[in-house]
Amino acid sequence: MFSRLAEWGREARMRPRETRTSLLERVVELGGATVAQLSNELDISDATVRRHLDRLEAEGLLQIEALRRGPGRPSYLYRATDAGVRTVRDHTPELAERLLSEMVRLQIEQSTISEALADQVADAHRSEVPSGSLEQRVDAVVDALRPEGILDHWQRTESELQLVNNACPYIGAANTSSCVCDADRLAIEKLLGVEVEQTERLATGDDGCVYIIPLEPISLDAEFKHAV
């Protein structure tokens, strides 16, 4: 009885999300695990382990494989899905920063990198920006790039439109090279078809990234002239 009370105490001290994270981490580290293994590893009951594993499976982070071990109740092996592995072991940001740092060290033309990155972003979102007035296009671009973390909102002043980002989605990379900031600005330009100037940068200590467009902007392409 006292051992069971002690177990209840351990389980109560671990918050559900913490328990699920610990279980997922162990499944990833072990390459797959059974309920019994995980129960023993974390010193919590089989029932608690199953409940959390069911939740992780429902979230698409685990998959189940039946283990054939003769007659009797079947045993199951839980493995992490690709999404599950990324949840606890995704070092893509660190890799990206190292790659960028190496490009800078090798003196690869940074404008080439910026242009290529901008093309990828613009191509991915061009269909989300319909033709229309400049302000209509700006509104659509902000909506399109918000999920990317590139823009948060925009506002109009007496002389210009200001597009603002309050939190850099890749501050480490931006601190390594200005090419990522240039890439964002170029992507906005490509989607709007007008010149865009960046006047403030989070990477240099400003409160946000601010991009400005004069109310009478310079068109980058003749096809946009009728809309500016």
Q: How many domains does the chain have?
A: 2
Q: Which domain holds residue 159?
A: 109-227
Choosing from 53, 88, 123, the residue where a domain stops is 88
Residue 134 sits in the same domain as residue 65: no
Residue 84 sits in the same domain as residue 122: no
Q: Is the pLDDT of residue 93 over 80?
A: no
The CA distance from 69 to 219, in Å, is: 70
Q: What is the mean pLDDT of residues 188-213?
A: 95
Residue 149 sits in the same domain as residue 208: yes
The count of other CB atoms within 10 Å of the CB of residue 118 is 21
How large is the C-alpha radius of gyration of the chain? 25
N residues, the chain: 228
The H-assigned helical ranges of 31-133 are 35-42, 46-58, 82-88, 92-105, 110-125
Q: How far is CA 212 from CA 143, 162, 200, 209, in A?
A: 17, 5, 10, 10
pLDDT 10s digits, 69-84: 666 667 899 999 999 9
Q: Answer whether residue 100 is part of any domain.
A: no
Q: Is the pLDDT of residue 8 over 60?
A: no
91-104 burial code (b ≥16 CB/10 A, e <16): eeeeeebeebeebe
* pLDDT grade for 169, boundaries at 50, 70 and 90: confident
Cβ-proximal residues to 114 (8 Å cutoff; 6+ apart), any chain: 179, 180, 182, 183, 186
Q: Answer whether residue 101 is part of any domain.
A: no
Residue 29 sits in the same domain as residue 115: no
Residue 68 sits in the same domain as residue 117: no
Q: Answer whether residue 95 is part of any domain.
A: no
Q: Answer whether residue 72 is part of any domain.
A: yes
pLDDT score for 173: 82
Residue 127 sits in the same domain as residue 210: yes
> Mean pLDDT over all residues of the chain?
86
pLDDT score for 14: 54
pLDDT score for 175: 84
The CA distance from 161 to 105, in Å, is: 36
The CA distance from 210 to 69, in Å, is: 63
Choosing from 22, 56, 88, the residue where a domain stops is 88
Residue 120 sits in the same domain as residue 220: yes
Q: Answer whether residue 94 is part of any domain.
A: no
What is the Cα 156 distance to its own chain's centre?
A: 29
Q: What is the CATH number of the domain that holds 130?
A: 3.30.1380
Residue 60 sits in the same domain as residue 6: yes
* pLDDT grade for 107, boundaries at 50, 70 and 90: confident
Q: Which phi and psi angles does 131 have, rounded to 5°?
A: -70, 160
Q: How far is CA 182 from CA 142, 150, 151, 186, in A?
A: 17, 12, 14, 6
168-189 burial code (b ≥16 CB/10 A, e <16): bebebbbebbbbbbbbbbbbbb
Residue 69 sits in the same domain as residue 125: no
